[in-house]
Structure 1
Amino acid sequence: MDDKLDTRRLRYFMQVLESGSVRGAAEVLDMDPSAVSRAVGLLEKECGTLLLERRGRGVAPTDAGELLSVYLRRQESQKQHLLAQMDAIRKVERGHIDIVAGEGYIDWLMRHSLQTFMRSHPAITVSLEVGSSDEIVRRVIDERAHIGLLFQPPRDERLRSHHSHPQPIQALVLATHPLARLGRPLRLADLMPYPGATLQRSFGVRQHIEAAEIGEGVRLPTLLTTTSFSALGYFVVAGLGYALSTRMSLPPHLDTAAVAELPMKNPLLHQGRSHVISRHGRMLAPAATELLRLIVSDMAGTMGAAAREPAG
């Protein structure tokens, strides 16, 4: 492939995909947009087919473009793995790890596995990004992230789960809320009279809630829809209403002593699990492999134990 296609044009093509537009890629590459467009056009001639198609104000890969991008990402991953193995042989600890996680996992990572790892490996750089469930899955599958932490990923043969533990969805309310006085597991219908907050549909937690709504034949009214777990916590602590979410959605910097975690009756809301994932079949570099093992070990020892504790 490298003998046939110009390496520079391939790099421009991948930057266009990463940026979502020719203009965005040109800004990153510090080039004129017309030059980037011409380079991609020449690459399409070399391939004998269109690689990009206009989508709104940006561009998206065609089927051929998607095949080429997967090949190039896999090639880059294999190259990085080779270099990392050589570094490991020479006992030189350097490299880079990309992690993408749900917002609720960030504090835990920084207080446990990631803090420990970065103290022990000061020469290894780490990129830690927050994403929705759909974004995390997409980045791991596209090999733009080595490790992903999220709630209930979809069944996909391209994903490998290294660890999971139960993460039930509960109704989070102030202890003074009327729902906290019912003294029993809640039905979704119990929530109907009260204002609530929820995550957007790209989050696994919200997808679980919608499945439960269908099962019980209700549609919960929502006062606040957000992409932020912290916003859910603030909503509850401020006494604005309830939030259907997991224990991890309560940020540790909030005063959550007065928050009650109420169990739900619907079995679907008890089936969710937190997962640590990577791309199935991907050869992780030694540094990423070591961090992955540390995360799995720490999760089994801390968050797994917390998930077995009765709700407070």
Structure 2
Amino acid sequence: MDDKLDTRRVRYFMQVLDSGSVRGAADVLDMDPSAVSRAIGILEQECGVPLLERHGRGVVPTDAGEMLAGYVRRQNSQKQHLMAQMDSIRKIERGHIDVVAGEGYVDWLMRHSLRDFMTTHPKITIDLDVASTDEIVQRVVEERAHIGMLFQPPKDDRLTSHQSHSQPIQALVLATHPLAQLGRPLKLADLLPYPGATLHRNFGVRQHIEAAEVSEGVRLPSLLTTTSFSALGHFVSAGLGYALGTRISLTPNATNPELVELPMKNPLLSQGRSHIVSRHGRMLSPAAAELLRCVVADMRRYADLAAGKDKPERAEKRAASRARSTAA
């Protein structure tokens, strides 16, 4: 295959895919669009099948184009892996890692794994992107990200999950909120009288909430719909209502004594799991493999703590918050 493919034309083809159009690729390559188009035409002749088809104002790969792109990405990945091994046989010194995660994991990553890793390996650059569940899966599968961190990914044989743990969905409210005074796991019907904030439907958390709504025959109204977990926390802090989210996504608010996390009764809201994933069969660079190991180890420690060790402390914090509210 390598003997039949011209490296330059293949590079043009991959740029067209990344840009979404021949003209966009030509701008990046600083070339005339007709020259790029001719190069792609010759490449299609060499392959014997069409590689691109028009879609609106841009182009999308055909099945053959997808196969070629996957082949090129695998070749590039193997080449990067080889070069990384040769450059750092004895110890990890240089490299670049692409990480993609749901926004709810960003604060935790920066407080733990990424902070520690970047301190230990100051010459390794990291690109941390925030994306939805579907986007994270796509980027990991297409090998545009080494490591993905997300809530309840769909079943996909192209993904390898290196660690997962239960991540129940809870309600975040002010300690003075009426829901915080019930003293029991909440039904979705308990939330109906109060305004709430939620995520858009392309988030796994929202999909779990909708499944729970169907099971209880309840439809929760949303005063705020957002793609930002941070916005959910600010919504609650401002006294505007409640928000539903996973515990790790609520971590930035955990130190605020005015906010409490309340368990939900619906079992569907306790079935979600956080996963750390990579592309199945992909050979990660030494740097990416080391960061993956660190994230997995840190997340296991976090899961152990969340499972029991810090429950008394959190109970004490809630009791103190309620006591202050009563005194006020």
Q: For this structure pair, what is the TM-score category when the shorter chain's length is used for normalisation?
A: over 0.9
Go from structure 1 to structure 2 and tell me whether the alpha carbon gap of 1:57 and 1:214 turns closer, same or farther (over 3 Å shift). farther
CA shift, 1:250, in A, is 3.1
Asked if 1:27 is matched to 2:33, the reply is no
Measure the CA separation in 1 of the matches of 2:46 and 2:201: 40
Asked if 1:69 is matched to 2:65, the reply is no
Retained in 1: the 8 A contact 2:175–2:260?
A: yes
Match of 1:50 in 2: 50
Mapping 1:151-170, distance limit 5 Å: 151-170=151-170
Match of 2:147 in 1: 147
SS in 1 for 2:297: helix
Retained in 1: the 8 A contact 2:151–2:272?
A: yes
SS in 1 for 2:70: helix
| Aligned length in residues | 312
Match of 1:187 in 2: 187
| AA at the equivalent of 2:161 | S
Q: How big is each residue's C-alpha offset from its partner over 1:261-289, in whole Å with a ceiling of 9 and x where there is no partner? A: 11111101011111111111111111111
| AA at the equivalent of 1:203 | F
Go from structure 1 to structure 2 and tell me whether the alpha carbon gap of 1:51 and 1:263 turns closer, same or farther (over 3 Å shift). same
Mapping 1:206-285, distance limit 5 Å: 206-250=206-250, 252=252, 256-285=256-285
Q: How big is each residue's C-alpha offset from its partner over 1:198-252, in whole Å with a ceiling of 9 and x where there is no partner? A: 1112211111112212222222222222111111111111122211111233363
| AA at the equivalent of 1:100 | V
Measure the CA separation in 2 of the matches of 1:66 and 1:294: 33
Measure the CA separation in 2 of the matches of 1:195 and 1:216: 18
TM-score in terms of structure 2 length: 0.88
SS in 2 for 1:171: strand
Match of 1:119 in 2: 119
| AA at the equivalent of 2:181 | R
SS in 2 for 1:173: strand
Q: How big is each residue's C-alpha offset from its partner over 1:119-149, in whole Å with a ceiling of 9 and x where there is no partner? A: 2222222111111111111111111111111
Retained in 2: the 8 A contact 1:167–1:307?
A: no
Measure the CA separation in 1 of the matches of 2:255 and 2:121: 34
Measure the CA separation in 1 of the matches of 2:251 and 2:28: 34
Give RMSD over aligned pairs. 2.0
Match of 1:305 in 2: 305
Match of 1:60 in 2: 60
Match of 2:324 in 1: none
Retained in 1: the 8 A contact 2:194–2:241?
A: yes
Go from structure 1 to structure 2 and tell me whether the alpha carbon gap of 1:58 and 1:192 turns closer, same or farther (over 3 Å shift). farther
Go from structure 1 to structure 2 and tell me whether the alpha carbon gap of 1:9 and 1:188 turns closer, same or farther (over 3 Å shift). same
Measure the CA separation in 2 of the matches of 1:266 and 1:71: 45
Extract unaligned runs of 5+ from structure 2: 319-328
Retained in 2: the 8 A contact 1:232–1:249?
A: no
Go from structure 1 to structure 2 and tell me whether the alpha carbon gap of 1:255 and 1:37 turns closer, same or farther (over 3 Å shift). farther
Retained in 1: the 8 A contact 2:253–2:259?
A: no
Which range moves more in the overlay, 242-251 or 123-132? 242-251
Q: How big is each residue's C-alpha offset from its partner over 1:59-83, in whole Å with a ceiling of 9 and x where there is no partner? A: 2222111111111111111111111
| AA at the equivalent of 1:55 | H
CA shift, 1:92, in A, is 6.7
Which range moves more in the overlay, 170-179 or 19-28? 19-28
Retained in 1: the 8 A contact 2:180–2:262?
A: yes
Match of 1:199 in 2: 199
Retained in 2: the 8 A contact 1:235–1:241?
A: yes
CA shift, 1:307, in A, is 4.7
